[in-house]
Amino acid sequence: MTEASENDFKVWMTETARHFEWYADSTLPKPGREPRRLIGAMRYAVLGGGKRVRALLAYAAGAVSGASPEALDRAALALELVHAYSLVHDDMPSMDNDTLRRGKPTVHVQYGEATAMLAGDALQTEAFTVLAAVEPPAAAARLCATLARAAGVRGMCGGQALDLAMVGGHPGEAELLRMQAMKTGALIQAAVLCGAQAGDWDRLGDGARGGLAAYADALGVAFQVVDDILDCTQDTATLGKTAGKDEKDDKPTWVSLLGLEGARTRARELHDRANAALALVSADPAVPEGAVDRLAQIADYVIARSH
């Protein structure tokens, strides 16, 4: 990425994230209403923090299919609500037992375990309420189905179950890849697909659809590889969550499997794979020129964090 394009991307990322924060704040249940404590916990979990990678991916992928701003807002918010719910539940004592998220106390620390559990449940159902209002109804149904598959037993929840089962174990590369492709990668893929499906999905050929899925697959694994690298190279203040916790909890990671430099090499390989997949998307005559540029820049941004 040239300096000019990097600056352009940073401006886009900042402005898009700011718009998303406004939309999320205005769409979530309003503070002060009953049940106040539950609504407070929901808003605390979602607003004011996070990289918003899933939302950014949805907005970027919408350019491929000409999605409307309103449909993309709803897709982006639904994705971030599901992501937030997963973090609330993952941080609880019965799961990862973490006390810090996005630089502030986790939801169960701030609001108690019972309210945190309810907040996660409510955020998940709120996501589908948001998506159900997308027009036309056929698009809403497709988006709901895509997100539900990514969040369920064949995706995020199933991956978390595999992750818990692997604690203290020594899985091979294929097992680790399967777990992380489900736990992290499935929602990354949903972000890309939902962004494109929010527009004229039917006009895209098989090559473009397959390219988007392949890009998302590579980026989803790369995102987790980079996260594993950061967990052992950055401090808690920089990460906004407890550093070194994976090693402390004896959880398998790409760094424990490949070593630090091996993990960085794998991230670069996945970056190349993501860019090759985007070339397939660009080759579709139905895709506007330059429509994949933001997706490519997001991949650059994710990989740059590993160095």
CATH number, domain with residue 97? 1.10.600.10
Examine the pLDDT at 208 and tell me if it is beyond 80: yes
Composition of the chain by helix, strand, coil, percent to 5: 75, 0, 25
Q: What is the mean pLDDT of the chain?
A: 94
Task: Give the domain range for residue 40.
Answer: 3-304
Q: What is the pLDDT of residue 13?
A: 97
CA distances from 140 to 75, 111, 279 (A): 9, 33, 28
User: What is the pLDDT confidence band of residue 246, given thresholds at 50, 70 and 90?
Assistant: low
pLDDT tops 90 at residue 235: no
pLDDT at 298 over 90: yes
* Number of domains present in the structure of the chain: 1
What per-residue confidence (pLDDT) applies to 307?
65
In whole angstroms, what separates CA 246 from the centre of its chain? Answer: 19
**pLDDT at residue 289 greater than cutoff 90:** yes
Q: What is the pLDDT of residues 101-133, one digit of tens each?
A: 988 999 999 999 999 999 999 999 999 999 999
Q: What is the 3-state secondary structure (H, E, C) of 181-234?
A: HHHHHHHHHHHHHHHHHCCCHHHCCHHHHHHHHHHHHHHHHHHHHHHHHHHHHC
Cβ within 8 Å of residue 230, ≥6 positions away: 239, 305, 306
Percent of the chain residues topping a pLDDT of 70:
96
Distance CA 36, CA 245 (A): 33
Q: What is the pLDDT of residue 63?
A: 98
Mean pLDDT for 198-224 is 96
Tell me the residue length of the chain: 307
Residue 238 has pLDDT above 70, yes or no: no
Q: Which tens digit of pLDDT belongs to each residue from 37-95?
A: 999 999 999 998 888 999 999 999 999 999 999 999 999 999 999 999 999 999 999 99
Q: What is the pLDDT of residue 237?
A: 67
Structure confidence at residue 236 (pLDDT) = 77
Query: What's the pTM?
Result: 0.95
